[in-house]
Amino acid sequence: MRRFVLAGSAVLFLAAGASAAPTPGDPPVERPAVDQKTEFDAVKAEYDKANKDFTAAYRAAKTDEERQAAAATRPNPDEYAPRFAEIASKDAKSDVAAKCHAWIAVNARDAEMQAAGLDELMTNHLASPVIGGVCQSVLYSSAKNRDAFLEAVLAKSSDHEAQGRACYALAFGHARRGEQRAAEPLFERVVKDFGDLKYGNASLADKAKTDLFELRNLSVGKPAPEIVGADVDGKPMKLSDFRGKVVVLDFFGFW
């Protein structure tokens, strides 16, 4: 009898414990929806306002002390990057997550933060409309996976603009590092395949042609191009007249 009671007790205990689980026909448990867009918009608005306030204060400053005080209010994007990453983690493949990682890749100062953003974009968002803007903005990025990201966009994206921006950014990076053999065919591809894209007030083809000329004619170690003008006495002169002599060229201007 005791064994029966104990066994019955165990059964009753288990049944009581299981009663909390949903049974067929029960209404689904409602969970609050993750509104990523609202969170993203709020954090971005906070950063944009802080940046706008800093800019206004700096422009209004009249003294060095006032400029230093204004500079201290400039928002640090690296403090906002983890907040965007947290928002993105709530739905890693959403459009909002793509915007979060794009913001990090473009705005963060820390190279590792930039790299993390680019990794996420490569993994989940190569088809996102934000990719083209990221490719254009990472020209000077020091993220270790910058080239890998651009190569992935160029090879796998179906978006013409994203591919063109990636191709130019790759070429630009190779040119900056003095890698002429790698840069030239990429610049040539920009001219041939992506020349219709805009670059400021000009076309991407025009920009690539200018870069190609500089790469082929104005790089370190290349002969200086001919310069024709007048000397300090007004007499005609050419740079080639001084071939074999030490010449110092001084370029200056107002920008």
pLDDT digits (tens, 9 = 90+) for 39-77: 999 999 999 999 999 999 999 999 999 999 999 999 999
Largest CA distance in the chain: 125
Distance CA 194, CA 196 (A): 5
pLDDT digits (tens, 9 = 90+) for 119-156: 999 999 999 999 999 999 999 999 999 999 999 999 99
Please report, for the chain, the start and end positions of each structural domain, with discontinuous segments joined by +.
159-223
Q: Please, which pLDDT band fits residue 4 given cuts at 50, 70 and 90?
A: very low
pLDDT digits (tens, 9 = 90+) for 67-124: 999 999 999 999 999 999 999 999 999 999 999 999 999 999 999 999 999 999 999 9
Instruction: Tell how far CA 217 is from the center of its chain.
Output: 30
Distance CA 168, CA 157 (A): 15
Average pLDDT over residues 169-194: 96
pTM: 0.76
